[in-house]
Chains A and B, each alone.
Chain A
Amino acid sequence: MKRTTFIILALIISWTIQSNSQNMKALKEKAMGSSELLGAGATFPFPFYSKVFDEYNKIKGVKVNYQAIGSGGGIKQLTSKTVDFGATDAFMDDKELSDAGKPIIHIPTCIGAVVITYNLPGNPKLKFTGDVVSAIFLGKITSWNDKRITSLNKGVKLPNQKIVVVHRSDGSGTTFIFSDYLTKVSKDWESKVGRGKSLNWPIGLGGKGNQGVAGLVQQTPGSIGYVELVYSKSNNMPAALIKNASGNFIEPTMSSVSLSANIELPADTRVSLTNSNSAQGYPMSSFTWLILYKELNYNNRDNKHAKALVDLIWWMVHQGEKYAQPLNYSPLPPQALKKAETILKSVTYNGKPILK
């Protein structure tokens, strides 16, 4: 009895106080050794990822634990080295990359879109411009029968109801895409709020994750919010048509989202697709990326573990893409896939490339 007490006491003290002891290293090795991969981040592609990882487990027997904690969380947990890969809908900017110390690479996995969804009697199809969306989310338009909304939607009877704005409470790529678009199209938004994964919201309710926002909008009459396309589809929620850079009102569909990527891509694929000049492209679209360290020998990860990770991502951008469409995600266009392959081949273990 007392001996166990003593041993356990010693263990706890060593865990808490001498955190860098040998003990710790052995633990780390054990924790990293087996064939389970851990990822965390964006909620935007969560349904797609959970489907892909479920299939991957059935086919290859490799378990991938993905926790949808938000893009901000994905970046944080990767740079704190608590996960194998992160996932984000907002590419890391140059400052974030240099803060991380070691090089981090981005692999695009699919294209998603942010839609404006709402809860009104009968849920009519509505049209919005960037300016109106910005004014609503800034609290300048407070009622559904405001002239600026009704003039865009002639023939739709809008109630005299207060608008309840719903936004994300967590750091999120969806928020980044949404605010990135509004910053590009609205001066007012740019000066008052700006773009970011977390914002200083002037008004509104916060929901955690895409699920949280979708849930709040469904429960609150007269609300408006922004969610990933998939979440609006799977919950039968309406999605507004948005005026793009060419002046067309575009309905968010898989093809209009894909079309938005019809532009020149940079080598590291870190590019914003919002308000792109593609004529039929939906203006609030974005790649979603997996992020990982370029050199995988860190924190006692072994070669096998590194290989498992790269294999998984290779499989995802090839075979995995076929699961995108049924879940309302737009698969990678060929040119983006080529870029992803090149990037993935640059991943190394001890300086040696893992894929040949």
Chain B
Amino acid sequence: MLIENNQNIEVVIEQSNNRLITNEKKLKIRIIKDKMFKYTTVAGALIVTLLLAYIIFYIAKKGISSINWTFITELPKPPGEFGGGVSNAIVGTLIMIAIAAIIAVPVAIAIGVYLSEDKKTKLSYWVRTGLEILQGMPSISIGIVVYVWVVLQMGSFSALSGGIALAIMMLPVVAKSTEETLKMVPYSLKEASMALGVPYYKTLLKVVIPSGLSGILTGILIAIARVAGETAPLLFTSFGNPFMNANVLKPMNSLPLVIFNYASSPYKEWHSLAWGASFLLIVMILILNITAKIISRKWKIKF
């Protein structure tokens, strides 16, 4: 009896020992899995960072060497002649962004204010849906429509049509950020103003919008950064121009167009101009993004 019991106990101990061992094994496997997952994740993230660093480094290396005084001040030379710059493209990009901003910003802010005021009406539902569609719309489609609407009607390619195409692209970004910002402005602020007898429109213009200004500004800068590098809608609208041009009713050059036209050319001099333009463009966009960040951080809405 006793011996049997002892034997039983031994079996049980052995079994539980075995279980302990397998549990320990399982635990080890689980820990190993956990570690492996962690390492692959970290590795994946690092690879992307390195890749990005490589891309930026590559463009910077190729671009910096072609950026000098003539690059910024001179016009492109005919093929085969050495030197030349992209001053017309720099000016063109700035002018077209300005046109786009002048057209898009007021409308977009008005749309954003509307959405933050009428939160749950039918119209606001459709406007929101519309903004989402517009935001996801391929830029080339916008180019086609602006070609039909503006270029064919005016009978000429022009910087204006390019600006309009870019404005359509800016619209959803600015409108959305305006809406999001104004939503965060506390209702009590508005109530206080209204209670003082300030009319509705003044309340919005003088109280609500100013308190959300940083958010709106950030949205505008991000929108500009987004359209600054756009090429597709400019192919059929602003068209390009080898000369300096400040007439918005005429075709105009821009940095992305320079990159596209020169990158696919067989001329070494034109390649280096394209690298320079790429670098310039990236730096511009970088500065815009950083400024946007600083603004949104510094003037965060705090109440």
Contacts and interface: CB of A to CB of B under 8 A. Distances in A.
A80 B152 contact: yes
B103 A12 contact: yes
A212 interface: yes
Contacts of A212: 264
Nearest to A63: B243
Contact of B154 (A1, A28, A38, A214): A28
The binding surface of chain B is classed by DSSP as: loop
A215 B266 contact: yes
A38 B243 contact: no
Contacts of B106: 1, 4-5, 8-9
Contacts of B250: 31, 34, 36, 38, 65
Interface in A1-50: 1-2, 4-5, 8-9, 12, 15-16, 19-20, 24, 27-28, 30-32, 34, 36, 38, 40, 46-47, 50
A31 B251 CA distance: 10
B142 to A, nearest CB: 13
Interface stretch (A127-135, A203-211, A251-259, A333-341): A203-211
B86 to A, nearest CB: 15
B78 interface: yes
A218 B265 CA distance: 11
Interface in B151-190: 151-158, 164
Contacts of B241: 65, 67
B296 to A, nearest CB: 22
A235 B266 contact: yes
B264 A208 contact: yes
B197 interface: no
B80 interface: yes
Contacts, number: 109
A215 B264 contact: yes
B239 interface: yes
Contact of A31 (B110, B155, B239): B155
B117 to A, nearest CB: 15
A82 B249 contact: no
Contacts of B152: 80, 82
B107 A31 contact: no
A38 B264 contact: no
A234 B79 contact: yes
Contact of A65 (B107, B153, B243): B243
A65 B249 CA distance: 14
A24 B154 contact: yes
B102 interface: yes
Nearest to A326: B80
Contacts of B157: 38, 82-83
A218 B78 contact: no
A82 B151 contact: yes
A73 to B, nearest CB: 10
A65 B266 contact: no
Contact of B80 (A24, A207, A327): A327
B264 A27 contact: no
Interface in B222-260: 239-243, 245, 247, 249-251
Nearest to A11: B103
Contact of A50 (B79, B150, B155): B79
A47 B267 CA distance: 11
Contacts of B155: 28, 31-32, 81-82, 299-300
Contacts of A9: 106-107
Nearest to B253: A65
Interface in A215-249: 215, 218, 231, 234-235
B92 to A, nearest CB: 12
Given A1-B205, A38-B156, A31 B264 contact: no
Contacts of B154: 24, 27-28, 31
A63 B152 CA distance: 23
A27 B78 contact: no
A236 to B, nearest CB: 10
Contacts of A148: none
B216 to A, nearest CB: 13
B265 A215 contact: yes
Nearest to A12: B103
A218 B268 CA distance: 12
A226 to B, nearest CB: 14
A51 B205 CA distance: 55
A8 to B, nearest CB: 6
A302 interface: no
B80 A47 contact: yes
A63 B110 CA distance: 41
Given A15-B149, A50-B242, A211 B266 contact: yes
Nearest to B239: A67
A54 interface: yes
Interface string B105-116: 011001000000
A9 B171 CA distance: 13
Contact of B156 (A4, A32, A51, A208): A32
Nearest to B271: A215
A351 to B, nearest CB: 21
Given A31-B249, A211-B266, A299-B155, A57 B243 contact: yes
A8 B251 contact: no
Interface of B: 77-80, 102-103, 106-107, 110, 149-158, 164, 201, 205, 239-243, 245, 247, 249-251, 264-267
24 contacts: A8-B103, A8-B107, A9-B107, A12-B103, A12-B107, A15-B153, A16-B150, A24-B153, A28-B154, A31-B156, A36-B250, A38-B157, A38-B250, A38-B251, A67-B239, A67-B251, A83-B156, A208-B264, A209-B264, A211-B264, A211-B265, A211-B266, A215-B265, A234-B80
Closest 9 pairs between A and B when the two form their complex, measured CB to CB: A211-B265, A31-B249, A5-B106, A19-B153, A214-B266, A50-B78, A299-B155, A31-B156, A212-B264
Given A5-B110, A12-B107, A38-B250, 8 more contacts: A8-B102, A16-B149, A31-B250, A36-B250, A54-B77, A65-B245, A211-B265, A214-B266
